Every structure is written in structure tokens, then in C-alpha cells.
Amino acid sequence: MRALRHQETSVLDATTTLFTGATLRTVDPDTEDAEAFLVHGNRFGAVGTVRECRAAAVRLGRTAEEVDLGGAVVVPGFVDPHAHPLMYGQMMSWVDCGPDKAADIPAIVALLRAAADTLPPGRPVRGYGYEHRNLAERRHPTRAELDQVSTDRDVYLMNASGHGGVVNSTTLARHGVTRDTPDPEGGTFFRDAEGELTGEVSDAACNILTGVGGVKIGRHGPNFHLGDEPAEHLRQLRAAQERFLAGGVTTIGDCQVTRREFDTYLRLADAGELRTRVGMYLLSHLLDQVIEAGMHGAFGNARLSFAGIKFYADGTLGGWTAYFPDGYVGDPCRTGQLYHEPEAYRELIAKAHAVGLQTATHAQSPDAIEMVLDAVEAAQERHPRPDTRHRIEHCGLPTPAQIARMRRLGVHPVNQTQHYYNWGEGVTEAIGTPGERFNPLGEFLEAGVPVTLSSDAPVAEPKPLEAVQAAVTRVTRRGHRLGEASLRIPAADALAAHTLGGARTLGREHEIGSITPGKLADFTVLGADPLTVDPASIAAIDVLQTWVDGALQHSTTATSTEGQS
């Protein structure tokens, strides 16, 4: 993996600050007993005893300002290598219909109707966050139920998985979708036993929501790229960025970048308002254009970089579109789908691999994961390359044999434990007892496969401490403990998975992910120690401050976060 060039703070402009009075969890065995750290400019200048850090400041010819953190706990800035920030920001203006807001379908309808009453005529009503297995009815809403919200404007309710949802009759009619409309490649218009449209749509069928001028992405996963004016997209991304920083996240991997996201990131960076680090994974329909443009590896600067290409092998477990050819236990008529024929997918991975690109493929079912591993192995045989770090996103249900192959091939799974925190019981209802192994982190650890945590925001909130707690306890929102104890991992490993592990998947472990001299000064200040508190209370730990490049970007303990260092 090629290291990225970074923007250095000028020696003349650099400030030097000594931080003391905190418990340090550095995620670096060489500095794990440290009691203080020195930030010089935008880097960690020293990590060790207070005396050692003061001596380092003297060697730099500086008198360090000293900051006593008052008994707080400091960890590296959290790295969230799989999220969708612009989508998240967009949905922050939608109606929250998640389990904390609505326990049944009438409650969802009431929330959406109340929102419709406040919107200008014709403005679409958009909701998000429902998971049908969390509803009292244990099913998806229908278009007839959403027609109770409005019959003269579009209504769209996105499933928590992000891979589909439900629309009202007006939306279907506006786009000419009838009972006779064929399903698009890579998507489904669901029908009832009589062949009538239910209003449920999945993956490429969501293209109808983007309009004629929208992003048509076909076999490339869910289409959540709803268009707004550029200024509105900037507002949405700013709002999302604040939420990531509030969770202690300093680096984000955006795992579905189209021109919409690319343009918005560039605008925000040009305005000097990109306050987190972002690594972009461009969606696979742009692969040929990426190669033609000569983007044959990671590049960029320390704030905004191109990291690789995002693919989809199958759908989602939450929406029952992950590929299980023998059908779902919860609905034998559903099998989910593969987005590509195996041979076609193999050629796409080979094309990306041959020019030096990292790939990140969404795959949940064993069949989909097998397709990814076969393609990576074939690409390596054709063009051997060391340390490619091809990724499998979510990697929900790999077999033990597949985990061993990941180790051998150097494949990095990127998991989201908040998925099973939010709806883990639904996986076992969907596919039976094998679902208890969902995200088998303990098996990864035992096999020597890198463990990496992320949020998949907006599928889950960008709250790394919630993800860490779920990894340690495997207890769901409803109090069910998922799977055997061997699937859990210790708190120290979970912390590393959401810091240094994320940095490794982005190819940036030499720059970020631990509190190590010479690395960029990204760190998060917590109100308690996630390694020593009761594991069931990790998610409740307060994030007090978030620092990026040695500058304070979020704080609940200071009146201003502008320009502090």
C-alpha cells in the first residue's frame, strides 16, 4: 500500500502542547505505559513520562503549553473505515422512524403524516430507520399504509439496512411502475400473492427515487444518491461531520462515492471546512474511468484521499437480499441475489487488482463471500502483488474455511457490530441458527485475521463506543446475547479494531490509528476507560473532546472549538 503525502504544519507556525493528567490507551505496545504526550504542530512529538515529554520539547527549542486533562482517558482518534457521510447528513433531515421512535406501523404513519403537514406542497416525505422485525407487526409497511400519509406527494420510508424500503402509490405511479413492470437488474419491486405491488423496493429498484437525472448505478448496490442542490449537500455533509466528531471519529472511509459525493468533498475541502480525514472508495461503475484517468493507487493528502473501488457481491441480511440460494428460513420464497455472475465479477476484480487498486466488496452470505475470495485468489495468481489488503465489507457469515482463506490471501473483513446490536435476532429469524455467528470476530482473532470495526452510518450511528461494547458483549438492543462466548473479543482488541485496525484497512497505519511519536496528532478524550468499566456500560462513556491534527474539533468541555491547539 502506498503511503499518502500529508500536509505538514509549518515549523514557524507550529505550536507545542504537553498533555498530562490522563490515562492513555495508546494502542501501541511501545507506548502503552505512557503518562503524557507532546503534540508539536500536527504530530505527536513524544509519548512517555512527563519528564521525557518536557525534554522532547526542549530539544525542539520550544516551551510547551501544558494541559492537564483532569483524570480523563485518551485513546487514538477513532477510525470509521466504512460509512456513508453524505447519505447520513441527508437523512438527518428525514423523519426518524427507528425503534426508539416507532414500535409499530401506525406510529410510523403518524410520524410521517406529522412531517407532511409541515412541508410545502409537493415536497417528498422521507423517513428512515425502521427494521420490520422490530415492529409489532413483524413485517414491512405497505404502500396502502403509506398512502395514509399522502396521495399527492412522494413518500419513501427507507429500511434500516439502507438497501431498500417502501414507497406509496403516488411514487410508483409517478415513475410508471405497475404490476407488469419487470424487476430491474440488481433490484426488486415486491409483489403480494396476487401479483400486486406491495410498495416495497430493494437495491436497484430504488433508482426510481433519484429521478431521470439521478445516479443510475444498476448492479452496484442500493441507490441512496438522492439529489439536492450543491449548497444543500454541503450543509448535509457539515452536519454529518459534526456527528462523527461528536462520536470521537477523526477518520472516515466513505464506501460508496459517486460524482455527487466526490464533488461535495472537494467543495468542502476547498472551503477549508473538511475537519475529519476522508478516504474515498469510488463505486464500481466508475472503474473504467478511474483506470483511464491513471488513478492506479491510493493518493491525495492527509485530509482527503482516494483509497480504492467499492463493489457489491450480494445484498443485505437486514433486508433479506443477501444471497441464500436455498431460501430464507423466515421466507423460503426469498433467495436474495448476487449482483454479478461470478465470472464477470472475477474479471472486474482482476482489472482493478492488475493496476494496483484496492477493492472493497460488500458480501454477507457464504456464497457471496466465496465469490469474493475466488476472485481475489484468481487476481493474485494472474498478477501477484504483496499486501493488497482487498476488503470484504460486512462479511457477515463466513465459514471457518473461508476465514482461513482470508488469512492466507491477506483479505481484511470490515465488520459493523452495531448491526447485530440493532437487529441481531432478525438474522437468526431470517436464516436460522447459523445467524448466531453473525460477524464472528472471535473466530477472526483466533485465526489471525485482522479485526476492523465501523458504523456503516447511517445504518448505525457513528458511535464507536457502542460498536466496541457490542463486540465485547454481543448483547443486542433487546437484551439477547448472540452466539457463543468464543465469538466475543476483549475490550482492548475491540478498541484496536476501531482505531489501528481501521487505519490498516485504509493503508494508513503509519500515519494514524495509535498514539505514537511521529504520527498525526488525532486523539479522543473520554470520560471513562473502555478497558476497565463494566463492558455493558462502554457505550455510555462520554466523548469529551475530539482532536484532529492537534487541533480541537469537538468538545463538551470547552466553549469554542475554533482553531484551538
Give 158's strand partners: 128, 165
Alpha-carbon gap, residue 428 to 442, rounded angstroms: 19
| pLDDT tens figures, 13-43 | 689 999 999 999 999 999 999 999 999 999 9
Res 188: pLDDT: 85
Give the H or E element holding residue 362.
strand 358-363
Name the percent of the chain lying above pLDDT 70: 93
Taking residues 238-261, what's their average pLDDT?
96
Task: Label residue 465 left, alpha or beta by phi (over 0 means left) and psi (-120 to 50 means alpha).
Answer: alpha
Res 133: pLDDT: 76
| pLDDT tens figures, 493-505 | 999 999 999 999 9
Cell of 359: 477493492
Alpha-carbon gap, residue 390 to 371, rounded angstroms: 13
Cell of 501: 485496525
| pLDDT tens figures, 345-384 | 999 999 999 999 999 999 999 999 999 999 999 999 999 9
Residue 128 has pLDDT above 50, yes or no: yes
Res 220: pLDDT: 54
Taking residues 389-412, what's their average pLDDT?
98
| pLDDT tens figures, 445-488 | 999 999 999 999 998 999 999 999 999 999 998 899 999 999 99
- Three-class SS of 76-140: ECEEEEEECHHHHHHHCCCEECCCCCCCCHHHHHHHHHHHHHHCCCCCCEEEEEECHHHCCCCCC
Residue 211 has pLDDT above 70, yes or no: no
Taking each helix axis as running N to C, give the angle between helix 417-431 and helix 464-473, from 0 to 180 degrees, rounded to the nearest 10. 50
| pLDDT tens figures, 139-189 | 999 999 999 999 999 999 988 777 788 999 999 999 899 999 998 877 789
Res 212: pLDDT: 34
**Cβ atoms 74, 149 nearer than 8 A:** no
Residue 5 has pLDDT above 70, yes or no: no
Alpha-carbon gap, residue 340 to 343, rounded angstroms: 8
pTM score: 0.88
